[in-house]
Amino acid sequence: MKRYLTCLLTLCALVLTTACEESYLDEVPLDRFSPENLLVNEAGYDAAVVSLYEGARQEHSIASNNFEYMTVGTDQSQWGRNDSRGNKDYSLLSSNLEATAIYWDWAFKQMIVRANLILDNIDDPELKIGDAARANIKGQALFFRAYTYNFLANVYGGVPIVKERIVEPKFDFVRSSRVEVLEFAAQDLEAASELLDMEVPDGRIPRAAAFHLLSEVYISLGMEKKDDSYYDKSIAAATKVISKEAGDYQLMTQRFGKASARPGDVFSDIFADGQINKSSGNKEVMWAWQFENFTPGGYSTPSLANISIRYWGPEYDKIQSPNGSANLPSDSLGRGIGVNSPTNYIKYEIWKLDPNDMRNSVHNIRRTYYYNNPADKAYFGKPILTKRGPDGQLYTTRSDGVATKIVLDTLR
Partner 1 sequence: MKKLAACYAFKCMRTTIGPMLLVLGLIHLSWARNASGQELLNRSISITVQEKSLKSVLHLIEKQADIKFSYSPQVVPVQQRVTLSAANRTLGEVLDLILKPVHVRYVVAGRQIILSRAEPEQRTGAVTPAVSPIPGPARMQERWIGGTVTDEAGAGLPGVSVVVKGTQSGTVTDVEGKFGLQIPDEATFLVFSFVGYLPQEVEVGSRTQVEVVLKPDTKALEEVVVVGYGTMKKRDLTGAIASVNVEQTRLQPNTNASQMLRGTTAGVQVTDNGRPGQVGTIKIRGTNSISASNSPLIVLDGIIYAGGSLADINPSDIESIDVLKDASSTAIYGSLAANGVIEITTRRGKSGKPVFSFNTYAGASDYAFLPKFLNAERYLAARKDAEIADGGAVPFQSVELENIAAGRTIKPFEEIKQSAPMSNYELSVSGKTERTAYFFSGGYLKAKSPVRGDNFSRISSRLNLSVDATDWLKLGVNSGFSSRDDSGVRADLLNATYLSPFASLYLADGRSPRPLPQDVGLVANPLTGTLLNDRKSIANALFANGFADVRIWKGLSYKLNVAYTRTDSKTFIYSPSYEPLNRLGSGSKRHDETQNITVENIVSYKQQITPRQSLDVTLLYGAYEQKKQYSFLSSQNIFNDALGYNALEIGESFNIDAGALKNRQLSGMARLGYSIAGKYLATVSVRRDGFSAFGAGNKFGVFPAVALSWNVTEESFMRNLKDVNFLKVRASWGRNGNRGVDEYSSLSQVEQKNYVFGDGGSTSVGLSPSSLANPALGWETSESTNIGVDVQAFNSRISASVNYYWTRTYNLLLKQAIPNTNGFEEFLRNVGQTRNHGLEIDLKTTNIQRGGFAWNTGIAFSFNRNKIMKLTGRDLNNDGREDDDIASNWFIGHPLQSNYDYTFDGIFQEGDDLSLIPGAKPGDIRFKDISGPDGVPDGKITPQDRSVISNAQPKFNIGLTNTWSYRGLSLSTTFNIRQGGYSRMDMMNPGQNFYDQANFLDVPYWTPANPINTSPRINYRNPLGYGFYENRSFARLQDVSLSYNIPDKVLKAIKIGSLQVYVSAKNLATWTKWKGWDPEFGEGGRSPRENGPLLKTFIAGLNISF
Site for partner 1 in 56-115 (CB under 8 A): 57, 82-84, 89, 91-92, 94-96, 104-105, 108-110, 112-114
> Between residue 3 and residue 32, which ones bind partner 1 under the rule CB under 8 A?
5-6, 9-10, 12-13, 16-17, 21-22, 24-27, 29-32
224-253 burial: b if 16+ Cβ within 10 Å, else e: beeeeebeebbeebbebbbeeebbebeebe
Alpha-helix residue ranges (DSSP H) falling in 304-406 = 309-312, 344-347
Cα dist from 43 to 34, 124, 130, 135, 168, whole Å: 15, 16, 12, 14, 27
Cα angle for residues 44, 46, 49 (degrees, 5° grid): 120
| Number of neighbouring beta carbons within 10 Å of residue 311 | 21
Least distance in Å: CB of 387 to partner 1? Answer: 14
Phi and psi dihedrals of 394, rounded to 5? Answer: -95, 125
Q: Is 50 in the site for partner 1 (CB under 8 A)?
A: yes
| Number of neighbouring beta carbons within 10 Å of residue 58 | 16
Cα(17)–Cα(242) distance, integer angstroms: 74
Residues composing the chain = 412
Binding range to partner 1, per CB under 8 A, among 60-68, 127-135, 293-301, 342-350 = 293-301
Least distance in Å: CB of 267 to partner 1? Answer: 20
- Of residues 57 and 240, the one with the C-beta less far from partner 1: 57
Cα(294)–Cα(291) distance, integer angstroms: 10
Phi and psi dihedrals of 78, rounded to 5? Answer: -130, 160
Phi and psi dihedrals of 169, rounded to 5? Answer: -60, 140
- 331-370 footprint of partner 1 as x/- string (CB under 8 A): x---x-x---------------------------------
> Between residue 243 and residue 282, which ones bind partner 1 under the rule CB under 8 A?
274, 276-277, 279-280
Size of the site for partner 1 (CB under 8 A): 100
- Of residues 2 and 367, the one with the C-beta less far from partner 1: 2
Least distance in Å: CB of 304 to partner 1? Answer: 11
Q: Is 167 in the site for partner 1 (CB under 8 A)?
A: yes
Q: Is 199 in the site for partner 1 (CB under 8 A)?
A: no
- Of residues 186 and 276, the one with the C-beta less far from partner 1: 276
> Between residue 389 and residue 408, which ones bind partner 1 under the rule CB under 8 A?
392-393, 406-408
Least distance in Å: CB of 372 to partner 1? Answer: 14
- Of residues 225 and 382, the one with the C-beta less far from partner 1: 382
Binding range to partner 1, per CB under 8 A, among 128-136, 143-151, 162-170, 349-357 = 162-170
